[in-house]
Amino acid sequence: MPLRRPFVISAGAQDVATNAFVMLEDDGLWGLGEGAPSPRVTGTSIEDVVRFLGQRARALGPVRAGEALGLASELGRSVLEGTVGWGPGPAALDLALLDIAGRARGLTARELLGLPLEGSLPTSITVSLGTIEEMQNEARAHLHAGFEVLKVKLGADPIGCRRVLKGLRDVAPRATIRVDANEAWSLAVARTMVPLLDRYEVELCEQPLRRDMHDALGELTRTSPVPIVADEMVRSAADVELIGRDRLAHGINIKLQKVGGLTAAARLALRARELGLKVMVGCFIESGAGIAAAAQLLGLVDWADLDGHVLLDMNPVPGPPLEMGIVSAPSEAGLGHDATEIAARALAGLHEG
């Protein structure tokens, strides 16, 4: 799926998303799931996702719609216990199971999981790393489209970061700005940057340090007036426990594709709340299928970063309601991604006969 413009972060650039789709069918009912690999974050390739789905298809055999919720619960439990690896393979299957289960029962995925029924939040939209002029132009385009929360990608140079923040505040003085360093900063750079983030009224900072720099991240969190949100280091139940127990961050970014699906994500979000952490629901670059699934968590979280489908040049699945930068939990049964059966079959590589 080609992107509208290159997606550029400190770790590299991307101009196409290559995702896997899985479709389940039973007696006229169907469900669609999506797996979005991000090798840098999950260590998973598209081949790994397809291999996992093939193995599960052979192991499960035909999936009955009436059994799908139980299968999703079992898969989610296995992911959280570590007997099945987290990542986009389990996520794709979990989403398809919840989608067909919800359609069979006439319930949304969040109702199946016992989550809050309502939820709408402003979503951030990404401003990719580039020249100041490029980033200003991208910010203007997002503001013109009705978005009021900008997620700004920053590099490792504190002087360059300061110039970017000033340049964006010049063109977006009233916008909410979040920054994401994607592990690019050293502790020394982060200490330099925090006062600048505070000065430019940045709402939060995602993953400023490498995911393995636990002690340094905790030290930064204890002294930062700007909330620090862990992202790349949040993939498993053990990660959430560690961050909450040792106060390594003020909050976490839960992405369904990292943690192994909506079933696991819902339980992790609830546990994070118990540990006193704030929660963001985020995404990779996904179609509306994956984004609709993530939107099921909107009644449970503090922040939303659900722009993956907006970044696509041609989004093949509509996704959740999105108006003037506000994303809402879908009201339709299942995931509420609004894909047609024809579109779902095409995405999953299925053909009649």
Positions annotated as catalytic residues are 153, 255
Please provide residue 329's backbone torsions phi and psi, each rounded to the nearest 5 degrees: -65, 130
How many C-beta atoms surround the C-beta of residue 28 within 10 A? 8
DSSP-based helix, strand, coil % in the chain, nearest 5: 40, 20, 35
Give the whole-angstrom CA distance, residue 345 versus residue 353.
12
Q: Per the structure block, which two tokens stand in for 23? A: 């479709």
What is the DSSP code string of 64-121?
PGGGHHHHHHHHHHHHHHTSS--SHHHHHHHHHHHHHHHHHHT-BHHHHTT--S--EE
Q: Per the structure block, which two tokens stand in for 294? A: 């993530």
Residue whose structure tokens are 């920053």: 154
CB-based contacts of 196, cutoff 8 Å, min separation 6: 158, 161, 162, 165
Strand order in the sheet with 303-304: 124-127, 149-153, 176-180, 202-206, 228-230, 251-255, 278-282, 303-304
Q: Give me the torsion for CA of 195, 196, 200, 202, rounded to 10°.
A: -70
Give the whole-angstrom CA distance, residue 249 versus residue 278.
9
Tell me if 38 sits within 8 A of 44, measured CB to CB.
yes
